Amino acid sequence: MTIDINWIAFAPALTMLVFACVAILFAVFQPEEGKATALIALVGIGFAFILNLNEFLQGWRLGVYHSSFGGRFIADAPALAFNFVILIGAFLAILIAYDYLERTGLDHPEYYPLLLLSACGAMVMASAGDLITLVLGLEIMSLAVYVLSAWRQNARESEEAGMKYFLLGVFASAFLIYGIAMMYGATGYFTYAGVANALQVEGFNKFFYASLGGVMLIAGLGFKVAFAPFHQWAPDVYTGAPTSVTAFMGVVVKAGAFAAFLRVVASFFPELPPVVTQTLAVMIFLTLVIGNLGALVQTSLKRMLAYSAVGHAGYLGLALLNAQNTGMNAAAWYLMAYTLMTAGAFAVLTLLTDKNDYGDTIERFAGLGKTKPFLAFSLTIFLLSLAGIPLLAGFVGKILVFQAAIQAGYTALAVAAIITSVIALVYYVRPIVYMYFRESEYVPMEHKSGATRFAVVFALVGTILLGVFPGWWYGLLEAGQRLLAGM
């Protein structure tokens, strides 16, 4: 019996794991050198990015993609594309945390190894071709984030965020594992391909159990991407966790969870009874409505961005409904744009709030356009992009997911998404009005952080370039998808 191990397939994820171990060992022997572990983490992300780029270009040029463990770990075009999103998100999260942690008294050396481990888990989820591999990646990603959410010691909000995320996360994992058990009991397979083939066998008579398993999978993964009604944790955890952790959760965790969700839906959901996909469509509609209406009444910018993240989970959910066709590429494109504009917005917040993350009420941003013009301009671009204003990345992302839903026959849901996008303009524009058209006697603080300002500039340039020149990234995704289809 031969063991199918292809080191090339999981080299990027393995690199993240190795550098996380190196950073942990360094933290043990040099506990005072917290920033040194950040540099180790950045080097690890750099190596993983190079390896991922090499695999992506090889697949693009030669049409060769790798898998390992009998197709249980797949390094194909979608997985590699999502890896890029995860790595860029982790890179920005480290830059945001670099000075923020020291300034807030949270600079402990184990922070960055935990971040690398969580990103490694997200990459495993993106490449999973098997339900057991999916759970493994999910737990690696989640366990580290549970700790990071409660990183601010002796702060009730942070402790509450960590406890809520942990308890609800365990509850969601139970749903996911029960769903996997039901799917295995019905089909006899854990691999996505095996499940799909079993469902297509003539005379298959266990659709009830398979459908129940599919609904439980939706519930388990729906928690991680903050789908309603499993979204309740998001506003409290996003608000209570340190802002650098919130930035990481908002981009990396969401990217990993959606990558896994897309592959599951594309692999065998079309073979399940329509009620499973209809359940998913209802959840997406609820997410769009609850996320955007909830954001309307928020006075805290950080909490508003938390509800905004729920709304954007709904927009990304539109791509799930057409995951077998254009939805995969649309979601990968959208997540890249979302990573840049969301990480950028949170980076600006870390420069303007105090060590306890207070001072993010919208009224406190009045007059920011005069007192801090660069930060005001950057935040304006990020908010307008999140709103879907043309010539910015968010606009193209929304067009792609709307098209994906319409092509799949969910025109009414796409119309609902467009309507909620119009509603969202209200809460995205409101902080901009305060920054440029309201006067305030309060002079907002601005922390000096070269790393965070570089993160803001990086995200700002990326958000604009993706909006003005969207074709290069989507072209690479399409080319990879065509080569994959032809294999």
pLDDT classification of 240: cutoffs 50, 70, 90: very high
**Amino acid letter, 272:** L
Higher-confidence residue: 32 or 459?
A: 459
- pLDDT value of residue 11: 92
- pLDDT value of residue 272: 95
Higher-confidence residue: 473 or 80?
A: 80
> For 388-421, how does the pLDDT look when each residue is reduced to its tens digit (9 = 90+)?
999 999 999 999 999 999 999 999 999 999 999 9
Alpha-carbon span 267 to 328, nearest angstrom: 12
106-110, 207-211, 412-416, 479-483, range with the lowest pLDDT: 479-483
Helix (H, G, I), strand (E, B) or coil at 150: coil
pLDDT higher than threshold 90 for residue 483 = no
Residues 6+ apart with CB under 8 A from 143: 117
Average pLDDT for 20-27: 92
Helix (H, G, I), strand (E, B) or coil at 361: strand
Average pLDDT for 209-236: 94
- pLDDT value of residue 70: 83
CB 334 within 8 A of CB 402: no
Question: For the chain, what is the total number of helices (H) and then of strands (E)?
Answer: 20, 2
- pLDDT value of residue 486: 47
Of 462, 31, 51, 399, nearest in space to 251 by CA: 462
- pLDDT value of residue 34: 67
- pLDDT value of residue 456: 97
| Burial class of residue 462 (count of CB atoms within 10 Å of its CB; 0-12, 13-18, 19+) | buried
> For 131-169, how does the pLDDT look when each residue is reduced to its tens digit (9 = 90+)?
999 999 999 999 999 999 999 887 888 888 999 999 989
Q: Phi, psi at residue 10, to the nearest 5°?
A: -110, 25
Cis, peptide link before residue 229, omega less than 30° from 0: yes
> For 355-381, how does the pLDDT look when each residue is reduced to its tens digit (9 = 90+)?
778 888 998 899 999 989 999 999 999
- pLDDT value of residue 441: 65
Higher-confidence residue: 428 or 58?
A: 428
pLDDT classification of 487: cutoffs 50, 70, 90: very low
Alpha-carbon span 115 to 136, nearest angstrom: 16
pLDDT classification of 1: cutoffs 50, 70, 90: very low
CA dihedral in degrees (407, 408, 409, 410; nearest 10)? -100
> For 339-359, how does the pLDDT look when each residue is reduced to its tens digit (9 = 90+)?
999 999 999 999 998 877 888
To the nearest whole number, what is the mean pLDDT of the chain?
Answer: 91
Q: Distances from the Cα of 165 to the Cαs of 92, 334, 404, in angstroms?
A: 23, 25, 31
DSSP per residue over 175-224, as a string? Answer: HHHHHHHHHHHHHS--BHHHHHHHHHSTT---HHHHHHHHHHHHHHHHHH
Tokens (6 digits) for 332: 């990968």
pLDDT higher than threshold 90 for residue 463 = yes
pLDDT higher than threshold 80 for residue 446 = no
Average pLDDT for 257-265: 96
> For 164-219, how does the pLDDT look when each residue is reduced to its tens digit (9 = 90+)?
999 989 999 999 999 999 999 999 999 999 999 999 998 888 999 999 999 999 99
Residues 6+ apart with CB under 8 A from 170: none
| Burial class of residue 455 (count of CB atoms within 10 Å of its CB; 0-12, 13-18, 19+) | buried
**In the chain, % of residues over pLDDT 90:** 74
Average pLDDT for 467-477: 78
> For 278-331, how does the pLDDT look when each residue is reduced to its tens digit (9 = 90+)?
999 999 999 999 999 999 999 999 999 999 999 999 999 999 999 988 899 899
Higher-confidence residue: 295 or 33?
A: 295
